[in-house]
A and B are shown apart, each in its own frame.
Chain A
Amino acid sequence: MAILHGIWVHHPPRAGLFLWGETWRQVAKRRKRSEAPSAHPYVQEPAELSPRLAAQFPQIPLRSLVPETLALQLPATIENVVYSASAAPEGKPLELETWLVEGFWLDGHQAFELLLGVPLGGGDASIGDDLRFWSQCARWVLDLLVRAKYLPDLESGNGPEIPTARWVPLLDSAVDQARLKEFAARLPGACRAATPELSAHQILKSFLSAMLDARVRTLLACEPPDSRTLPAGAVRPWLLALAHPQPQLKSPDPETPTLAEALATWRAPLSYQVRSRTCFRLQPPEQSKDEWKLDFLLQAGDDPEALITAQQVWSSTGALQEVFLAGLGLASRIFAPIERGLLVPQPTCCTVSTVEVFQFLKAATWRLRDSGFEVLLPESLADAGSLRNRLGLKLEANAPGRNGSGLGMQSLLAFKWELSLAGKTLSRAEFDRLAVSSDPLVKIHDNWVELRPQDVRAARSFLQSRKDQVGLSLEDVLRLNFGDTPKIDGLPIVNFDSSGPIQQLLETLTDQRKLTPIDEPPGFKGTLRPYQKIGVGWLAFLQKWGLGACLADDMGLGKTVELIAFLLFLKSKNELDGPILLICPTSVMGNWEREIKKFSPSLSVHVHHGARRPKGRNFVETAQKKQIIISSYALVQRDSKDLKRVEWLGLVLDEAQNIKNPDAKQTQSIRELTARFRIALTGTPVENRLAELWSILDFLNPGYLGARNFFQRRFAVPIEKYGDRSSANALKALVQPFILRRLKSDPQIIQDLPEKQETNVFCPLTPEQAALYERVVDESLVKIEQSSGIQRRGTVLATLVKLKQICNHPSHYLGDDGPLADRSGKLSRLGEMLEEVLAEEERALIFTQFAEWGHLLQAHLSRQLGSEVFFLYGGTSKNQREAMIERFQNDPQGPRIFILSLKAGGVGLNLTRANHVFHFDRWWNPAVENQATDRVFRIGQTKNVQVYKYVCTGTLEERINALIESKKALAEQVVSAGENWLSDLSTDQLRQLLVLDRSEIVDTEDTA
């Protein structure tokens, strides 16, 4: 995947955004640094860059662009220039050298359009940080345009130069000065690579000026002013040039220099307030109620804390006095009462009435700040919108009667309340006194605060209802605690004090360390790792409070085991008093059944699928008899009526990302089911996929994250589009209590995990596979019975190959070129698991013994996953092979999935960047499989390795797998003999081994 870079180039008279692509490839190392600039070895060919740009930024007319070359200063080691996404090489000193890159120039307007289309949040590795930085700056330009922080300017030019008319940004406000500083400090070195002689400030200013000018100009050029309506003389060509693609004045008037001078005089007052700014400090009245003071001060520009009093200004010498006076003169236009203070020779302040103060707060403060002045307000007025200065309710928790048990999200908890204003408790009498006066500003306990009429009204009606206590749902309490601000009868809750069990709940929800881990419950066959005990404790804790839980541990950490232990724990406490419905993808139903039987044989399970599944009253009876019902997402919708008839104790969704689309019928059917607790299991990093997050959380705790369009507006758009950290943090705080996600890489987890973990993945056959399988078995057994000797042996082995092909995929056996999706249980499961691998940003190897299947798989996976997939087999040339291995191991953004044929890739290679190994079909030879696994599990591997062995249930694969696992000794024999031992079996023995167990077929197509 190529990385798109963009660099703002300021080479007057030319300025623009230079775009180039960087793509990883194997390059030769140098012996020494070169003297002359050389071509950058990783540059993407413009011919490849162009279609990528066209696809990503359709709004930019790229056809007219011609590739050009630009010299950049880039860091290089002695060996070569460093690929931008690679970590800094250790022990090899970096130096800047000149490299030539090929790319495209965009002019100001095109650049602005493109930058607005770049996603602002991180996460898209195909966008370089340099380009991302400029896109953030473009957003600043947008803000300047919205706030009208720019002016038309005229440069009359010296001598022969043609005068130019431009729109120039005004960065005089404190906000923009702070931004300038912050942006300059964050500017990546890469943004200066074309013009290292310019400072971060200079290049930023060049960018802002050019972008702003280009944007305003382009907008006006769509509808240029009618020159007949413009005044004659020097003004007309100036105005026309301001609205023309070219800034040069056409036929400038001889008076142009005079106009330029007049404009400079006009603008001059603004330029005073840049280095130090005049500052206004509002002081509440000391005694008489209606006499506020507005102090005049001067703030040194570089240090916002350094305030100079008016007296100090007047006793100073130098230019400060005039900056101060000019500031006062300009500010008096914005807030007229300032003039009153200027009638003395050395003004220090002016007096203002309460009404004027209110106007000052509402209108003037913002405008003064926006015009480069500073305004200091008393703390209680500074943040008038914030809760701490508002009228509202102060709540104190009453201990609930029960210890949490049996509560739900909507259960009401009782709270004592008090009225509060600006953090101070307000008695009824005090409120009445304040409520009578119509003053917008009131004094309470020595603090002046703004009293909003709507708050007063809300408080009045609240008081009239004369409640002694207020009820707050558990959901409201959680929201409050995690930063949301619910209201009661329109009155904001400004303070909240919890105690007792509620406090305990809140503390445990925020801090897992306060959880009680749960040991293996009685009847559990196996051991729980320490983090799994915490996981079980967490599920039990949320269930007790009636809260839905999302267990999102990394793939391989054992979510299945944690859930089984939790259910067994409920049983041990006699709380498993109703059936659990477990919904999962069709491909893992068999796996669940096997895992439950393996870890807790005492739980009764019913797998609800197939044409002969119970219906209607039969189903209800079955459900009541069993403790766990396993069904699939596909069936939920079809059998929705039956499923709704059961009062479920618990509803568990495995691979819960399946309900990511809230509009899907399947999702809606699931949401209609009633259950006393809900659990979602997922291995994808759900907190980063906001649509999915909302859908899952809304299933678990309906309404908690608000309606979908609210969520979209409040969180999804700011976070996904603009990378807004504060919204992301707020969301994280809200959802964190309900999501438990441990990563394999967590230091605490890693020590609990074995370095290599092998798992059997049981997959069902689809009906198509089953039919083929049975036909081949029947035909072959007849042939085998009729033959003997070498012929019989050949037939047995051929049968084996055919059955393996069918287990892989019908197309593999049939050699057809039909679509692959949904026709093989193994392939469906592989797709699901690979998505998790990719979501965890890890890498995987897939081994198959069939090259023809590898080809099919490669084409299918790269399409399904939308990313490049490698395939190495006997026919791969040596060069290709080396290039693939090099890229897989070293390209920072290289393919993450590598398919290898067991014969060509099973030995000798070092592919330690992967830590997942899939054995898609089996050789039945642990030594061969282990050798393949060791491509990953060897020196250089830094992660825990996960090995998945795929097995089709009900087929010879499952039987041989069981044979190998149960009888190690026999297995050894088997191993030594390869697959030949099969041909020595009698026909009856073969039949037992091969014949299909029909009950394992998952019938997704069955509509009966």
Chain B
Amino acid sequence: MNSDPAKASQEAAAKVFASQWWAQRWIDVLESFGWTQRLARGRNYARGGNVLAMEFQGSKVKAKVQGTAPTPYDVTLFLDRFSDEQWQEVIETLAGRAIFAAKLLAGEMPQNIEEAFIASGLSLFPFNKWDIHSQCSCPDSANPCKHIAAVYYLMGERFDQDPFVLFALRGRSRTQILQRLRELRGSGTTAPSESAATESTAPPVPPLKAQGFWQLAGDLDPSLVAILPPPSQETVLDVLGPPPIEGAEPVVNYFKGTYAQVRNWAMAAALGAE
């Protein structure tokens, strides 16, 4: 991918596989199992772009990893699914506290989500190495091989972007969980479409009228006359938190600088001192 090997390794070193706490948690759990050597090799594979494809199929992850052989190896990885009964219990626990649904809907993994699983004697994150099942088509008999380890790391990155992938690996999709929570609240089965937010049905465009065509009624909105700096330096970036993308931190820092620069320019322009 990169023609300049020095630059590639520099970038790879900067590559962090998790920025959100839950994704970091996944990596921590893995690394706590002690397969240090193999994980290190896997990490290099992941950084080097050896994972050519990775796909979530229900609770399974299927990936193609380029090894030393010309054809890439097939890696399959999955966690133990929870049974329907187990899920039933977990979701009932989740429904007992609105904070879980509220945070999940706001795109955040609740800090104490584990509590809901522990209450049912379960663990959302793999508890020991036997919880993680994996296969690789490579001749290496060790498990995890470096190909599997590479996939582990990339999964952490994926969790970062969408915390619900973790749930999917345990057997429930985000839609299923929210739907079940909805049922438990007794609010029927209607899913809020994304259009609940946007204008669902645009009203018909009123025809242009020839009367009063040229005249502007009224003055400038008084609140736009003297444009004041907002009382705090915090912005929408702080409200939303970092975006679910790999290496979010430098991106957020770049945006923060951008917002400050734009604000300074706009304040000066608003005061007419451009």
Q: Does A749 contact B (CB under 8 A)?
A: no
B195 to chain A, nearest CB (A): 10
B160 to chain A, nearest CB (A): 9
Whether, in the assembled complex, A47 has its beta carbon less than 8 Å from a beta carbon of chain B, the answer is no
Given A147-B230, A229-B250, also A96-B97 (CB < 8 A): no
Interface residues of A in 977-993 (CB under 8 A from B): none
Q: Give the distance to chain A from B242, nearest Cβ to Cβ, in Å.
A: 8
A604 near B: Cβ within 8 Å? no
Total count of chain A residues near the partner, CB < 8 A = 112
CB contact list, A330-346 vs B, under 8 A: 330, 332-334, 339, 342-346
Are B240's CB and A342's CB within 8 A? no
A318 with B197, Cβ < 8 A, contacts A142-B266, A330-B239 known: no
Is A429 part of the binding interface, using a Cβ–Cβ cutoff of 8 Å?
A: no
Question: A170 and B231 in contact (CB under 8 A), knowing A318-B187, A325-B102?
Answer: no
Contacts of B118 in A (CB 8 A): none
Stretch at the interface among A259-267, A660-668, A866-874: A259-267
A139 touching B230, Cβ below 8 Å: no
The reply to whether B197 and A146 contact each other, CB–CB distance below 8 Å, is no
| Chain A residues within an 8 Å CB radius of B274 | 116
Given contacts A96-B208, A225-B254, A231-B251, A323 and B192 within 8 Å (CB-CB)? yes
B224 / chain A contacts, CB cutoff of 8 Å: 136, 139-140, 143, 722
B181-211 near A? 1/0 per residue, CB < 8 Å: 0100101101111101111001101111111
Interface check B245, CB cutoff 8 A:
yes
Q: Which residues of B contact A220 (CB under 8 A)?
A: 258, 261
Which chain A residue has the least Cβ–Cβ distance from B259? A148
Q: In the assembled complex, how far is the CB of residue A480 from the closest CB belonging to chain B, in whole angstroms?
A: 23
How long is the Cα–Cα vector from A722 to B219 in the complex, in angstroms? 9
Distance to closest chain A CB from B17 (angstroms): 12
**Which chain B positions have C-beta within 8 A of A726?**
222, 225
Q: List which B133-162 residues lie within 8 A (CB) of chain A.
A: 161-162
Q: Say which residue of B178, B235, B272 sits within 8 Å of A148 (CB atoms).
A: B235
Among the 9-residue stretches B27-35, B58-66, B104-112, B120-128, the one with 4 or more Cβ atoms under 8 Å from chain A is B104-112
Name the residue of chain B whose CB is nearest to the CB of A724: B225
Task: Say whether B223 faces chain A, with CB atoms less than 8 Å apart.
Answer: yes
Alpha-carbon gap, A262 to B98, bound state (A): 25
The reply to whether A267 and B211 form a contact with Cβ atoms under 8 Å apart is: no
Contact string against A for B residues 255-269, beta-carbon threshold 8 Å, 1 for contact and 0 otherwise: 100110111011101
- Across-interface contacts of A231 in B (CB, < 8 A): 11, 14-15, 246-247, 250-251
In the complex, the answer to whether A235 meets B259 with C-beta atoms within 8 Å is: no
Tell me whether B239 and A143 are in contact (CB under 8 A): no
Say how far B252's CB is from chain A's closest CB, in angstroms. Answer: 11
Most chain B beta carbons < 10 A, residue from A94, A182, A722: A722
Bound-state CA distance A566–B251 (Å) is 76
Choose one: B194, B208, B215; the contact of A73 (CB below 8 Å). Answer: B208
Q: Which residue of chain B lies nearest to A191 when distances are taken between CB atoms in the complex?
A: B216
| CB closest residue in chain B, given A133 | B216
Cβ distance B100 to chain A, nearest Cβ, rounded Å: 8
B192 touches A319 (CB 8 A): yes
Q: State the CA gap A267–B106 with chains docked (Å).
A: 9
Residues of A within 8 A of B105 (CB): 269, 272, 322, 325-326, 329
Does the CB pair A188–B267 fall under 8 Å?
no
Q: Is A199 an interface residue (CB 8 A)?
A: yes
Chain A residues closer than 8 Å to B270, beta-carbon distance: 139, 142-143, 146
A190, B214: Cβ atoms under 8 Å? yes
A345-B97, A346-B185 known; A142-B269 Cβ under 8 A:
yes
In the bound assembly, the distance between CA atoms of A239 and B245 in angstroms comes to: 13
A132 to B214, CA, bound (A): 11
Q: Is A84 an interface residue (CB 8 A)?
A: yes
Are the CB atoms of B97 and A344 closer together than 8 Å? yes
CB of B129 within 8 A of chain A?
Answer: no
Cβ contact within 8 Å between B190 and A318: yes
Which B residues are in CB contact (< 8 Å) with A973? none
**Is the C-beta of A152 less than 8 angstroms from some C-beta in chain B?**
yes
Q: If A146-B230, A367-B234, A370-B230 touch, does A269 touch B251 (CB 8 Å cutoff)?
A: no
| Residues of chain A with a CB closer than 8 A to B14's CB | 231
User: Considering only CB atoms, which chain B residue lies closest to A139 in the complex?
Assistant: B224
- Which B residues lie within 8 Å of A95 (CB)? 210
Choose from A120, A130, A219 the contact partner of B220 (Cβ within 8 Å): A120
Chain B, range 54-108, C-beta contacts under 8 Å to A:
95-99, 101-108
A359 to B266 alpha-carbon distance, docked (Å): 28
Residue in B103, B197, B206 whose CB lies within 8 Å of A275: B197
Q: Which of A175, A216, A273 contacts B262 (CB 8 A)?
A: A216
- The 8 Å CB contact of B102, one of A170, A192, A332, A363, is A332
Residue of A nearest to B217 (CB): A186
| Chain A residue with Cβ nearest B99 | A342
B18-44 near A? 1/0 per residue, CB < 8 Å: 000000000000000000000000000
Q: How far is the CA of A196 from the CA of B15 in the complex (A)?
A: 51
Contact between B198 and A189, CB atoms less than 8 A apart: no
Given A231-B14, A723-B219, the answer on whether A269 and B240 have CB atoms closer than 8 Å is yes
CB of A855 closer than 8 Å to a CB of B: no
Contacting B247 at CB < 8 Å: which of A128, A235, A271, A314? A235
Closest to B104 in A: A329
Q: A20 CB to closest chain B CB, in angstroms?
A: 13
Verify B108–A329 contact, CB threshold 8 A: yes
A329 to B99, CA, bound (A): 7
A232–B11 touching, CB < 8 Å:
yes
**Assuming A235-B247, A265-B244, is B185 touching A146 (CB within 8 A)?**
no
Q: B residues within 8 A CB of A152?
A: 255
Closest to B200 in A: A275
Q: Measured between C-beta atoms, what is the minimum distance from A663 to chain B in Å?
A: 22
Q: Which residues of B contact A232 (CB under 8 A)?
A: 2, 11, 15
CB distance from A184 to the nearest CB of B (A): 10
> When A235-B245, A317-B187 are in contact, do A342 and B214 touch as well, CB less than 8 Å?
no
Asked whether B216 lies within 8 Å of A334 as measured between CB atoms, the reply is no
**How far in angstroms is the closest Cβ of chain A from B165?**
11
Flag A257-289 by CB within 8 Å of B: 1 or 0 each: 011001101111111111100000000000000
A724 to B272, CA, bound (A): 15
Question: Is A725 on the interface with B (CB-CB < 8 A)?
Answer: yes
Give A79-98 interface residues, CB cut-off 8 Å to B. 84-85, 88, 94-96
Nearest CB of chain A from residue B217's CB, rounded to whole Å:
6
Contact A325–B219 (Cβ < 8 Å): no
Chain A residues in 8 Å Cβ range of B259: 148
Question: Is the pair A145, B266 in contact by a Cβ cutoff of 8 Å?
Answer: yes
CA distance A828 to B247 in the complex (A): 76
Beyond A148-B236, A314-B185, A723-B219, is A345–B213 a contact (Cβ under 8 Å)? no
User: In the complex, what residues of B have CB within 8 A of residue A718's CB?
Assistant: 225-226
Most A CB contacts (10 A, CB to CB) among B15, B196, B220, B261 go to B220
Quick one: which of B96, B198, B221, B272 contacts A721, CB cutoff 8 A?
B272
In the assembled complex, how far is the CB of residue A671 from the closest CB belonging to chain B, in whole angstroms?
30
Contact partners of A725 in chain B: CB under 8 A: 219-220, 222
Which residues of B line the A interface, CB within 8 A?
Answer: 2, 7, 11, 14-15, 95-99, 101-108, 161-162, 178, 182, 185, 187-188, 190-194, 196-199, 202-203, 205-232, 234-237, 239-241, 243-247, 250-251, 254-255, 258-259, 261-263, 265-267, 269-270, 272, 274
Knowing that A188-B212, A371-B236 are A-B contacts, what are 11 other residue pairs whose CB atoms are under 8 Å apart, sorted by A's residue number?
A84-B214, A139-B224, A189-B210, A193-B208, A262-B245, A267-B240, A275-B197, A317-B188, A325-B101, A346-B185, A718-B226
20 A-B residue pairs with CB within 8 Å: A142-B227, A145-B263, A146-B228, A146-B266, A148-B262, A149-B236, A152-B255, A188-B216, A231-B251, A266-B107, A274-B197, A317-B187, A318-B190, A322-B192, A325-B101, A367-B234, A723-B220, A724-B226, A726-B222, A726-B225
